[in-house]
Amino acid sequence: MKRLTCLFLALLTAMPLMACGETTATETDTTAQTETEVEGAAETQTETEKETMPPLSVPEDLDYDGYEAHIYSFQHSGYHWEHVAEELTGEVLNDAIYNRNLSTSELLNVKITAVINKWDNDNFRYMVRTSAMSGDDAYDIYTGNTYNSTFLSANGYYYDVTKMPYIDPINSPWWNKSAYEELSVGDKAFLLMGDICASNYSLEAVFFNKDLLIDNDLEDPYTMVDEDRWLLDNMISMTKDFYQDLDGDGVRDEDGDMYGIYGASHSVCNMAYYYLKIVEKTEDNYIKVNFGSERNEEILTKLKDWFTASDGFLYQSDGWTDMAPFAEYENCLFIMQSLQRCVALRDYDINYGIVPIPKYDELQEDFTAVGTGLVVSFPVSATNIERSAAIADTLGYYGRLYVLPAYVDNTLMYKGTRDENAARMIEIILDSVFYDFGKEYSSFDGWSCAMLDFQRSNQGFASFYEARNQKADKELYDVADKILALEQ
| Least trusted range by pLDDT, from 168-177, 260-269, 403-412, 454-463 | 403-412
Are residues 283 and 152 part of one domain?
A: no
Q: Does residue 148 carry a pLDDT above 60?
A: yes
Closest CA to 141 of 66, 57, 213, 197: 197
Are residues 316 and 266 part of one domain?
A: yes
Are residues 393 and 303 part of one domain?
A: no
First to last CA, the chain: 36
Q: Which of 118-127, 265-274, 340-349, 412-421 has the highest mean pLDDT?
A: 265-274
Are residues 211 and 94 part of one domain?
A: no
- Find all residues with CB under 8 Å of 389, minimum gap 6, and list them: 164, 165, 166, 167, 378
Are residues 169 and 55 part of one domain?
A: yes
Question: CA-to-CA distance for 152 and 190, rounded, in angstroms?
Answer: 9
Burial of residue 155, with CB atoms counted within 10 A of its CB: 0-12 exposed, 13-18 middle, 19 or more buried:
middle
CATH number of the domain to which 357 belongs:
3.40.190.10
| Least trusted range by pLDDT, from 248-257, 300-309, 396-405, 438-447 | 248-257
- Where in 426-487 does DSSP place strands (E)? 433-434
Are residues 390 and 362 part of one domain?
A: no
Q: Does residue 87 carry a pLDDT above 90?
A: yes
Residue 143 per-residue DSSP state? E
Q: Is residue 126 part of a domain?
A: yes
Q: Does residue 342 carry a pLDDT above 90?
A: no
Q: Is residue 31 part of a domain?
A: no
Res. 196 pLDDT band, cuts 50 70 90 = very high
Are residues 456 and 316 part of one domain?
A: yes
243-244 and 110-117 beta bridge pairing: unpaired
Per-residue pLDDT averaged across 115-144, rounded? 90
Using a cut of 0.75, tell me whether the model's pTM lies above it: yes
Q: Does residue 128 carry a pLDDT above 80?
A: yes
Q: Is residue 21 part of a domain?
A: no
pLDDT in tens, 61-80: 999 999 999 999 987 655 55
pLDDT in tens, 95-109: 999 999 999 999 999
Decide: 380 and 157 in contact? Cβ < 8 Å: yes
Q: Does residue 209 carry a pLDDT above 90?
A: yes
Per-residue pLDDT averaged across 318-332, rounded? 90
Q: Is residue 238 part of a domain?
A: yes
Which pLDDT score, from 0 to 100, does residue 191 have?
Answer: 98
Q: Is residue 459 part of a domain?
A: yes
Q: Is residue 30 part of a domain?
A: no
- Find all residues with CB under 8 Å of 61, minimum gap 6, and list them: none
Are residues 225 and 361 part of one domain?
A: yes
Please give the residue range of the domain that contains residue 168: 47-201+372-416
Q: Kindly report the length of the chain.
A: 488
Are residues 172 and 162 part of one domain?
A: yes
Checking 418-424 for CB contacts under 8 A at 24+ apart, the result is: 418/12, 418/15, 418/17, 418/351, 419/12, 419/353, 420/8, 420/9, 420/12, 421/222, 421/353, 422/353, 422/354, 423/4, 423/5, 423/8, 423/9, 423/11, 423/12, 424/5, 424/8
More reliable by pLDDT, 439 or 409: 439
Q: Is residue 460 part of a domain?
A: yes
Decide: 88 and 100 in contact? Cβ < 8 Å: no
Q: Is residue 189 part of a domain?
A: yes
Helix (H, G, I), strand (E, B) or coil at 321: coil
Averaged pLDDT score across all residues of the chain = 87
Q: Quote the number of domains for the chain.
A: 2
Q: Does residue 164 carry a pLDDT above 50?
A: yes
Are residues 214 and 99 part of one domain?
A: no
Are residues 298 and 331 part of one domain?
A: yes
pLDDT in tens, 4-54: 443 333 333 333 222 233 333 333 333 343 445 445 555 555 565 667 889
Are residues 255 and 196 part of one domain?
A: no
Which pLDDT score, from 0 to 100, does residue 46 have?
Answer: 58
Helix (H, G, I), strand (E, B) or coil at 160: coil
Res. 116 pLDDT band, cuts 50 70 90 = confident
